[in-house]
Amino acid sequence: MNAPAPSVASRRAPGPADRLGLRNLVRFARDQLGLLRSVADEYGDVARIELLGQSYFLVSHPDDIEAVLVKHARVMLRDSHSVVLERALGKGLLTSNGELWKHQRKLMAQAFVPRRIQSYGAAMARVTDAGLRPWRDRAVINLHQEMSRLTMEVVADVLFGSGLAPADVEQVRESMETVNEFFANSPEAITMLPAWVPTPRNRRVTAAVARLDELIYRIIAQRRAGESRDDLLGTLLAAQDDDGERMNDRQLRDEAMTLFLAGHETTALTLAHTLYLLSTHPEVERRLHAELAAVVGDRLPTADDVRALPYAERVIKESMRLYPPAWTTGREAAEDVEVGGYRIPKGAQILTSQWVVHHDPRWFPNPEGFDPDRWEGERGKAIPRFAFFPFGGGPRVCIGNHFATLEATLMLATIVGRWRLDLLPGQRLTLKPSVTLRQAGDGLLVRLSAR
């Protein structure tokens, strides 16, 4: 008698044969971006990768990504590696699950309604303008470092208003950098080594988190003791749930830290990558500058200008397509699920990779080309919804997505309106994937020319 045909949902996804996952680990350690792309190319839209005895399912078709992030959202948890982030972020929005996440998301959403986001626009442009004052004609700057400094100043101002002195901002930046470097593939982070093991890196990160704690708790205490303010922290302090309950100090601290970490590096990278692309595509830069000159002229850009800057929007979108700051979005299946005709068992890790999908020629002809006009009109409309998902999707979509888009547009408009940036000869972009997709080495050097 013939064995019954396996039901679709019991099909095992194909992938590189490697039972223990050691060979995959070596490939992954050498070239994470290359491994993901070659696995998707070779094994298709749902592929299984074994890494140290853990199954990862790489899901690469827009419809299947939608299934993971939207349709099956109810049975998805944050991926297992987010535990490492808890060392700095505690149980903030990015790292929590279940009822806690739901409760916090509702409270945090009050700080990200459109009217509030628009109100942050003035600070975004004003702080960027002030941050550009040290720039000098013909000077050479480090693109990533400067964008990191500027976005830190913007996030600090929007989050805490004038509650942070410049020396505090610098201290936050240094401590955040230590935390970021820890997350960026340190052996301690990869092996999830407990915090109490006294390696030098473990000690450094514990000290950096303690410095950040001291500062954030100090600001929260000042606010609780004094007048209310109209910045993001003020909104979070006032936010109430359905029972009229507000966040306690610990919860506020975790959320403030999460916003600092999630909101600063990603936008800095978006700007650094966009300015790099403009410096290597002078015709795009000219068109962008012409749009800015016509709409904004010599004044500071405002949130209301953004609607009149469609080319700037396309430039930023195309930059985030080519170099997505968040290059993978992970989930853990809390139950068995079926995706793309394959069974994904409970406990498996699911990877959707912006890096892989944003470069897929099925959705993006000439995928390596920088072509902002691919987003225009009918061409733009033909791109499937989840072929481009720089902010993730579904209920856990980036809560800061509109904030980030406004911030990136206003900062880009302020910079490009006044300065031209030319890459120094011999500089080439090499990517280094860590939690975010960074520029490798010390960062790219550009020469400034005042307009």
> Residue 65 Cβ, how far from ligand HEM at the closest point, in Å?
10
- Spell out the residues 6+ positions from residue 379 whose beta carbon is closer than 8 angstroms to its own: 373
60 vs 266, which CB is nearer to ligand HEM?
266
Residue 358 tokens read as 């944003």
Residue owning tokens 């408009």: 413
CB of 140 to ligand HEM, least distance (A): 26
d(CA 327, CA 321): 10
Specify the residue, 24 or 128, whose C-beta has the smaller distance to ligand HEM: 128
Q: In whole angstroms, how close is the CB of 255 to ligand HEM at the nearest point?
A: 8
Q: Which of 131, 393, 417, 443 binds ligand HEM (CB under 6 A)?
A: 393
Query: Per rule CB under 6 A, is residue 274 in the interface with ligand HEM?
Result: no
Q: Please, which residue, 157 or 188, has the CB nearer to ligand HEM?
A: 157
Which two structure tokens, joined as six digits, stand for 352?
């959707």
Closer residue to ligand HEM, CB minimum distance, 275 or 448: 275
Among 396, 421, 438, 448, binds ligand HEM (CB under 6 A): 396
**Applying CB under 6 A, which part among 239-247, 261-269, 273-281, 376-384 lies near ligand HEM?**
261-269
| 263 contributes a contact to ligand HEM by CB under 6 A | yes
Q: Is 147 in the site for ligand HEM (CB under 6 A)?
A: no
Token pair listed for 256: 């403030």
Q: Which is nearer to ligand HEM, 351 or 448 (CB)?
A: 351
259 binds ligand HEM (CB under 6 A): yes
**Residue placing its CB nearer to ligand HEM in the complex, 12 or 385:** 385
Provide the minimum distance between the beta carbon of 365 and ligand HEM in the complex, in angstroms, as a whole number: 24
Which one, 72 or 396, has the nearer CB to ligand HEM?
396
- 8 Å CB contact between 175 and 209: yes
Least distance between ligand HEM and beta carbon 24 (Å): 23
By the rule CB under 6 A, 403 interacts with ligand HEM: yes
DSSP state of 5: P
Q: Given the complex with ligand HEM, which of 324 and 340 has the nearer CB atom?
A: 324
Among 46, 59, 93, 154, binds ligand HEM (CB under 6 A): 93
Residue from the set 247, 404, 421, 423 that interacts with ligand HEM by CB under 6 A: 404
- Least separation in angstroms between CB 402 and ligand HEM: 9
Judged by beta carbon, residue 94 or residue 236, the one nearer ligand HEM is 94
Least spacing, CB of residue 82 vs ligand HEM, in Å: 9
The yes or no reply on residue 258 touching ligand HEM (CB under 6 A) is yes
β-bridge partners, 439 = 431
Contact assessment for residue 268 and residue 444, using Cβ atoms and an 8 Å cutoff: no
User: Of 302-331, which residues contact ligand HEM (CB under 6 A)?
Assistant: 325-326, 329
Pick the closest to residue 205 from 185, 184, 175 (CA basis). 175
DSSP 220-269: HHHHHHS---SSHHHHHHH---TTS----HHHHHHHHHHHHHHHHHHHHH
The Cα–Cα gap between 180 and 435 comes to 8
234 makes contact with ligand HEM (CB under 6 A): no
Calpha distance 61→408 (Å, rounded): 28
* 55 vs 57: CA distance, rounded Å: 7
> According to CB under 6 A, which one of 400, 411, 413, 443 is a site residue for ligand HEM?
400
DSSP string for residues in 133-186: TT--TT-EEEHHHHHHHHHHHHHHHHHHGGGS-HHHHHHHHHHHHHHHHHHTT-
Binds ligand HEM by CB under 6 A, chosen from 349, 391, 411, 414: 391
**Crossing angle for the helix pair 401-418 and 114-131, nearest 10 degrees?**
30
Please give the Cα distance from 38 to 58 (Å, whole number): 11
Instruction: Report how many residues bind ligand HEM under the rule CB under 6 A.
Output: 25
Q: Is 105 an interacting residue with respect to ligand HEM (CB under 6 A)?
A: yes
β-pairing, 54-59 with 349-352? parallel
341: left (phi over 0), alpha (psi -120 to 50) or beta: left
Q: What is the contact surface with ligand HEM in residues (CB under 6 A)?
A: 69, 93-94, 105, 258-259, 262-263, 266-267, 270, 325-326, 329, 390-393, 396-400, 403-404
